[in-house]
Chain A
Amino acid sequence: MTEPTHSKKSTDNSPAEHQLDSKVQDQPRLARRGFLSGVLASGAAAASTAASLVANPAQAAEPAKPSVLPPSAKGALAETGLPPDLGHGHGAGMPGSDFMVDVIKSLDIKYLPSNCASSFRALHESLIDYGGNTKPEFLTCMHEESAVAMGHGYFKACGKPLLTLCHGTVGLQHASMAIYNAWCDRVPVIVVGGNDLDAAYRPPGVPTFHAAQDINAMVRDYTKWDDTPVSLQHFSQSFVRAYKIAMTPPYGPVAISLDAALQMAPVHLHEGKMPYIPKYIPTSPPQGDSGAVKEAAKMLVNATNPVIVADRAARTPEGVGLLVQLAELLQAKVVDQGSRMNFPRTHYLTAPATAIANADVIIGLELSDFWATVNAYTDNNSNDGHGTNASRIKPQTKLISINSVDLNTKSNYQDFQRFQVVDVQMAADAQTTLPSLIEAVRSALPNDKKEAIAKRGELQRKAYEEDIVRTKTAAALGWNESPISTARLVMETFAAVKNEDWSLVASEGNVSNWPNRLWPMEKHHHWLGRSGGYGVGYGAPASVGAALANRDLGRFSVSIQSDGDLMFAPGVLWTAAKHKIPLLSVMHNNRGYHQEVMHIQRLANFRNRKVNLEGDMGPVGTSIENPDIQYHELARSMGWWAKGPIKDPAQLASALKEAVAVVKSGHPALLNVWTQPR
Chain B
Amino acid sequence: MKNTSKISRFNAALLLSVMVCLSLPVMAQTSAPSVEKGKQAFVKNGCWGCHGFVGQGGLAGPKLAPEPKPIEYIQAFVRHTQGPMPPYSEKILSNQDLIDIHAYLKSIPKGPDYKSIPLLN
Residue of A with least CB distance to B121: A472
Q: Convert B1-44 into 0s and 1s, putting 1 for each residue whose CB lies closer than 8 angstroms to a CB of A.
A: 11111000000000000000000000000000000000000011
Ranked 9 nearest A-B pairs via Cβ = A478-B56, A391-B1, A605-B86, A477-B56, A512-B58, A476-B114, A601-B46, A472-B114, A512-B59
Decide: A491 and B119 in contact? CB cutoff 8 A. Answer: yes
Tell me if A60 is interfacial: C-beta within 8 Å of chain B. Answer: no
Residues of A within 8 A of B2 (CB): 391, 395
B68 contacts partner chain A, Cβ-Cβ < 8 Å: no
Residues in A whose Cβ lies below 8 Å from that of B59: 510, 512-513, 678
- Report yes or no: B60 in contact with A476, Cβ–Cβ below 8 A: no
Say yes or no: is A74 at the interface (Cβ < 8 Å to chain B).
no
Is A395 within 8 A of B1, CB to CB? Answer: yes
Q: What 1/0 mask marks residues of chain A from 161 to 179 whose CB sits below 8 Å from any chain B CB? A: 0000000000000000000
Q: Is the CB of B91 within 8 A of A608?
A: yes
Interfacial chain A residues near B56, Cβ < 8 Å: 477-478, 481, 485, 676
Query: Do A677 and B1 have beta carbons less than 8 Å apart?
Result: no
| Range for the number of chain B residues in contact with chain A | 35 or more
Which residues of chain B are within 8 angstroms of A677 by Cβ–Cβ distance?
48-50, 52-53, 58, 60
A678 touching B86, Cβ below 8 Å: no
Q: Is the CB of A473 within 8 A of B119?
A: no
- A→B interface (CB under 8 Å): 375, 378-382, 389-391, 393-395, 469, 472-481, 483, 485-486, 488, 491-492, 494-495, 510, 512-513, 518, 594, 597-598, 601-602, 604-606, 608-611, 613, 617-619, 676-678
CA distance A512 to B114 in the complex (A): 17
Q: A606 to chain B: which residues have CB within 8 Å?
A: 86
| Chain B 75-90 per-residue mask, 1 if CB under 8 angstroms from chain A, else 0 | 0000000111011110
Contact A478 B4 (CB under 8 A): no
B-side contacts of A483, CB under 8 Å: 53
In the complex, the answer to whether B48 meets A476 with C-beta atoms within 8 Å is no
User: Is A512 within 8 A of B87, CB to CB?
Assistant: no
Residue of B nearest to A377 (CB): B84
Question: Which residues of B have CB within 8 Å of A618?
Answer: 46, 49
Q: Complex: how many Å from CA A610 to CA B41?
A: 12
- Are A477 and B57 in contact (CB-based, < 8 A)? yes
Given contacts A483-B53, A491-B119, A611-B46, contact A391 B3 (CB under 8 A): yes
B49:A476 contact, CB within 8 angstroms: no
* Among A395, A472, A613, contact of B3 (Cβ-Cβ < 8 Å): A395
Give Cα A518 to B117, complex, Å: 14
Once the chains are docked, how many angstroms separate the CA of A269 from the CA of B106? 84
Chain B min CB distance to A419 (Å): 13
Residue contact A610 to B3, C-beta cutoff 8 Å: no
Q: Is B54 an interface residue (CB 8 A)?
A: yes
Is B46 within 8 A of A473, CB to CB? no
B117 and A476 within 8 A (CB)? yes
Contact A601 to B86, CB < 8 A, known contacts A375-B1, A476-B117: yes
Q: Is the CB of B1 within 8 A of A676?
A: no
Which residues on the A side are within 8 Å of B114 (C-beta)? 469, 472-473, 475-476
Q: What is the CB-to-nearest-CB distance from B103 to chain A, in angstroms, rounded to a whole number?
A: 18
A443 to B1, CA, bound (A): 33
Cα–Cα distance between A619 and B46 once the two chains are bound (Å): 9
Contact residues in A for B117 (Cβ distance below 8 Å): 476, 479
